Structure formats: structure tokens, C-alpha cells
A = this chain, B = another copy of it.
Amino acid sequence: MDLQVRIARLESLEAIRQLKHRYLNACDLKEVETIRDCFAEGEVDIDYGPLGRFQHRDGFIELYQRLACQLRVIDSHHGANPEIELLDDDHARGRWALSYFNLDAQTGVTRRLGVIYDDRYQCIDGQWKITASRSRILAEVLGRHQP
């Protein structure tokens, strides 16, 4: 394979990981427009199980705002174990683990999830975007802040 192609492949892996990291940090920081921008503008398949399934990013953003954009909701979305596979120059898929931790600042109830993401990515006009994301909850543990 020529050097140009090999470098482009490494750059795509970097860009895709950075995309997901930007998404996850934005979820914790409640940066709504950054979250929206991580998904493709056209048809997507966001399947977050019990949270719902969305064919357009705006439907998901609406839910996110309703659920997360409250002072009492304190979230940690920490990605781990990315396995990114490039399918061609403009398409990729990825499997990630997610360590999700939620604190309800009003009640002190905590919720820890172990999650697996199966994603699809596409490079559109030179920018990698999430076109599909399916999350499955492997583990759920409830607890309580004990000051």
C-alpha cells in the first residue's frame, strides 16, 4: 500500500476517535450544539435502547435536552476500548465500551452503567460524522451518595 494511503488511514482513525471523544465530553458538559454536530445531518440510526430510537439527530437532541439539561443531572460519559475498523475511505465502524455514571444531585441517587456502543461513521465533506450508534447496557448498578 502506498505511503499516502497508509497515512490517510491513520489520520482517519485519529479523527474518528476524536469525534467520539468530543461527543462524550460534550454530553457531560451539556454542549448541545457540539453534540448535534457530531452526527450526520441527514438520515441516521441512533438506537439507544430504552431511551429511544431516532432517524434524525434533532429528535435525539430534543430528548437529550429534556433528560440531561437540568442542574440535578450530573453525568460522566467515559469512553474506553475503541475498536475502529475502516471499511473504505469514507466509511468505518466502531465498537466502544462506555463507563456511564449519573448522580442525581437532588436525591443523591447514583446509577452506574457498563455500556457497549456499536457505531457507524461516514466522512462527509471531509468531516467524520456518526451515522449510526447502537448502545446496549451490559451492567446497571444503583447506589447513593453518602456524605
Q: Which residues of A contact B (CB under 8 A)?
A: 3-4, 6-7, 10-11, 13-14, 18, 20-22, 24-25, 28-29, 74-84, 95, 97, 99, 101, 103, 110, 112, 114, 116, 138-147
Contacts and interface: CB of A to CB of B under 8 A. Distances in A.
A14 B10 CA distance: 8
B25 A83 contact: yes
Contact of A147 (B95, B142, B146): B142
Given A18-B84, A76-B99, A142-B145, 8 more contacts: A21-B80, A28-B97, A28-B138, A74-B139, A75-B114, A76-B114, A101-B139, A142-B147
A25 B116 CA distance: 8
Contacts of A139: 74-76, 101, 103
A105 to B, nearest CB: 9
A97 B114 contact: no
Nearest to A99: B78
Contacts of A84: 18
10 contacts: A3-B3, A7-B7, A21-B83, A24-B97, A25-B83, A74-B138, A78-B80, A78-B114, A79-B80, A101-B139
A114 B138 contact: no
Nearest to A20: B81
Contacts of A110: 141
Contacts of A83: 18, 21-22, 25
